[in-house]
């Protein structure tokens, strides 16, 4: 019988337990290991920040600010916001900790982000993310290395086969201004066919029309001017360099002119890791270059490039949940603590059943899918193979090597 009034997780959140917890941990552990190979150090920033940290780069009228941020006053009257993304906090930490004079900085982060949006497959209001930021390097090699690091994580997770890297260039400021003017002219001419949202974007941020999901907008976007025809010489050289470096790293990619970023501090590289393995095509993550963000937050003019990848979606793409090593079950109350302690210090997972007796101990071993049990008594130790029932006496000092 279902009990009434049982508390449930808040909509858009869930408990991460069992196989899902193992998948999440595997994604984070893999990312932590791979990013270290590329020289990235892990930072932890607060889960909530002063609201102005996100208002400055995102803009007070953006969808994230007006519709998605969890913002609240604290008891002192300050406006705080649960972080909707990780980059702004990393850039703030760079400034706060006086690290703008020791560049480049290569940062890895992981943890929860919060956005009030409609929950759907692989997307939650408390989402979980891994990310890297490379601050203080403004050459295309930096962009390529950041992307290559993300691609290697996907390879080592065994999911690169399900993901396609899409790249684009946003050009430099002259390129972007020229391209914006061309888009305004084109979409103004076809304004009657635009969705209501894109009519608003035409006045405020015409580049955002390029990633509209509206069918009518998409038909117009297909014939819109391309950024490649409006690149300055420097911007074209940067993009050519990026593609050459990605090829040297062995990272496959496709060019997609619809990969855009709406804010002016984004420039040059924009990219997304896209998959169709979770249903309709969707991104497991993406990123780009943001040369004006640190300055916008009150620091000096420091270039940056990075990405964020969704742990929730990456975990769903794993073929199988990684399993923890089965424990050795130590049965025998008198010596169980001594033996379990020795095995654990030796790096071997060991558990002691809480219900006493041989019969209860073996039942517990079966529930834990253990392969071995140590039967301990005052006369000696017996190592029991739980798969075939065979057993043999073993000396205490030989127990660890025998289990290995």
Q: pLDDT digit string (tens) for 212-245?
A: 888 899 899 989 999 999 999 999 999 999 999 9
pLDDT of residue 134: 98
Share of residues in the chain with pLDDT > 90 (%): 72
Q: Identify the pLDDT of residue 356.
A: 80
Q: Are 312 and 124 in contact (CB under 8 A)?
A: yes
Among 4-8, 47-51, 161-165, 254-258, which stretch is predicted with the lowest mean pLDDT?
Answer: 4-8
Bond prior to 104 in cis (omega within 30° of 0): yes
Which range (45-49, 56-60, 323-327) has the least confidence? 56-60
Residue 209: other Cβ atoms inside 10 A? 27
pLDDT of 98 strictly over 90: yes
- pLDDT reported for residue 380: 84
Q: Please, what is the average pLDDT of the chain?
A: 91
Q: Which two tokens stand for residue 212?
A: 């509209």
Q: How far apart are CA 132 and CA 312, in angstroms?
A: 17
Query: Residue by residue, what is the 3-state secondary structure of the chain?
Result: CCCCCCCCCCCCCCCCCHHHHHHHHHHHHHHHHHHHHCCCEECCCCCEEECHHHHHHHCCCCHHHHHHCEEEECCCCCEEEECCCCHHHHHHHHHHCCCCCCCCEEEEEEEEEECCCCCECCECCEEEEEEEEEECCCCHHHHHHHHHHHHHHHHHHCCHHHEEEEEEECCCHHHHHHHHHHHHHHHHHCHHHCCHHHHHHHHHCHHHHHHCCCHHHHHHHCCCCCHHHHCCHHHHHHHHHHHHHHHHHCCCCEECCCCCCCCCCCEEEEEEEEECCCCCCEEEEEEEECCCHHHHCCCCCCCEEEEEEEHHHHHHHCCCCCCCCCCEEEECCCCHHHHHHHHHHCCCCEECCCCCCHHHHHHHHHHCCCCEEEEEECCEEEEEECCCCCEEEECHHHHHHHHC
Q: How much is the pLDDT for 211?
A: 79
pLDDT at 265: 82
Mean pLDDT across the stretch 297-323?
93
**Tokens matching residue 398:** 């030989």
Q: Which two tokens stand for residue 394?
A: 């073993």
Query: 116 with 67: CB under 8 angstroms?
Result: yes
Task: Report residue 63's pLDDT band, with 50, 70 and 90 as the boundaries.
Answer: low
Q: Let me know: does 27 contact 314? Beta carbons within 8 Å.
A: yes
pLDDT at 355: 86
What pLDDT, on a 0 to 100 scale, did the predictor assign at position 243? Answer: 98
Mean pLDDT over 122-129 rounds to: 91
Say which range, 187-196, 215-224, 245-254, 276-285, has the weakest mean pLDDT.
Answer: 276-285
Residue 94 pLDDT exceeds 90 = yes
Q: How confident is the model at residue 102 (pLDDT cuts 50, 70, 90)?
A: very high
Write down how long the chain is. 404
pLDDT at site 288: 96
Amino acid 129: pLDDT: 97
Q: What is the pLDDT of residue 321?
A: 80
Domains delineated in the chain: 18-172+232-317 (3.30.930.10), 328-403 (3.40.50.800)
Average pLDDT over residues 348-358: 91
pTM, full prediction: 0.89
Does residue 6 carry a pLDDT above 50?
yes
Q: Mean of the pLDDT values across residues 374-383?
A: 87
Distance CA 352, CA 148 (A): 45
Nearest to 31 by CA among 107, 114, 136: 107
pLDDT, residue 66, reads 60
For range 333-358, the mean pLDDT = 90
pLDDT of residue 315: 95
Tell me the average pLDDT across 32-50.
98
pLDDT tier, 273 (very low <50, low <70, confident <90, very high otherwise): very high
Work out the pLDDT band at 1, boundaries 50, 70, 90. Answer: very low
Contact in structure between 117 and 68 (CB atoms under 8 Å): yes
| Between residues 116 and 123, the one the model is more confident about | 116
16-29: pLDDT as tens digits: 999 999 999 999 99
**Which residue did the predictor score with more confidence, 142 or 193?**
142
- Give the Cα separation of 375 and 358 in Å (integer): 8
Inter-residue contact 370 to 340 (CB < 8 Å): no
Find where tokens 């001017």 sit. Answer: 225
Q: Say if CB 314 and CB 304 are below 8 A apart.
A: no
Residue 90 predicted with pLDDT over 90: yes
Rounded CA gap, 366 and 340, in Å?
18
pLDDT computed for residue 118 by the predictor: 82
State the first-to-last Cα distance of the chain, in angstroms, to the nearest integer. Answer: 47
Given a cut of 90, whether residue 67 has pLDDT beyond it is no
Highest mean pLDDT among 235-239, 280-284, 352-356: 235-239
When mean pLDDT is compared over 64-73, 104-113, 364-373, the highest value belongs to 104-113
């Amino acid at each position: 019988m279902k009990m009434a009034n049982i508390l449930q997780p808040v909509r858009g959140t869930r408990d991460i337990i069992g196989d899902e917890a193992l998948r999440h941990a595997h994604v984070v552990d893999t990312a932590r290991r791979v990013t270290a190979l590329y020289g990235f150090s892990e930072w932890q920033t607060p889960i909530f920040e002063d609201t102005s940290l996100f208002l400055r780069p995102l803009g007070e009228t953006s969808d994230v600010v007006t519709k998605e941020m969890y913002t609240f006053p604290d008891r002192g009257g300050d406006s705080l916001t649960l972080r909707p993304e990780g980059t702004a906090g990393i850039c703030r930490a760079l400034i706060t900790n006086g690290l703008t004079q020791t560049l480049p900085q290569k940062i890895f982060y992981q943890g929860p982000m919060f956005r009030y949006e409609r929950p759907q497959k692989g997307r939650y209001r408390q989402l979980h993310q891994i990310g890297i930021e490379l601050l203080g390097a403004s050459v295309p090699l930096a962009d390529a290395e950041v992307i290559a690091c993300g691609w290697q994580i996907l390879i080592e997770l065994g999911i690169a086969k399900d993901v396609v890297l899409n790249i684009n260039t946003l050009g430099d400021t002259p390129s972007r201004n020229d391209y914006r003017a061309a888009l305004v002219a084109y979409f103004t001419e076809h304004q009657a066919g635009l969705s209501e949202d894109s009519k608003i974007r035409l006045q405020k941020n015409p580049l955002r029309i390029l990633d509209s999901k509206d069918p009518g907008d998409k038909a117009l976007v297909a014939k819109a001017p391309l950024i490649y025809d409006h690149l300055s010489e420097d911007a074209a050289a940067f993009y050519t360099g990026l593609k050459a470096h990605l090829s040297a790293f062995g990272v496959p990619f496709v060019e997609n002119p619809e990969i855009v970023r709406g804010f002016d501090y984004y420039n040059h590289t924009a990219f997304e890791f896209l998959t169709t393995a979770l249903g309709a095509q969707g991104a497991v993550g993406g990123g780009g270059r943001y040369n004006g963000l640190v300055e916008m937050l009150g620091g000096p003019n420091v270039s940056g490039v990075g990405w964020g990848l969704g742990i929730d979606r990456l975990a769903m793409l794993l073929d199988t949940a990684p399993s923890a090593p089965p424990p050795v079950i130590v049965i025998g109350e008198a010596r169980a603590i001594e033996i379990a302690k020795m095995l654990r210090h030796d790096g071997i997972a060991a558990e002691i059943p809480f219900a006493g007796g041989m019969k209860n101990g073996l039942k517990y071993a079966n529930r834990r899918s253990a392969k071995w049990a140590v039967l301990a008594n005052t006369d000696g130790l017996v190592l029991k193979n739980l798969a075939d029932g065979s057993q043999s006496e073993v000396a205490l000092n030989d127990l660890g090597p025998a289990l290995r």
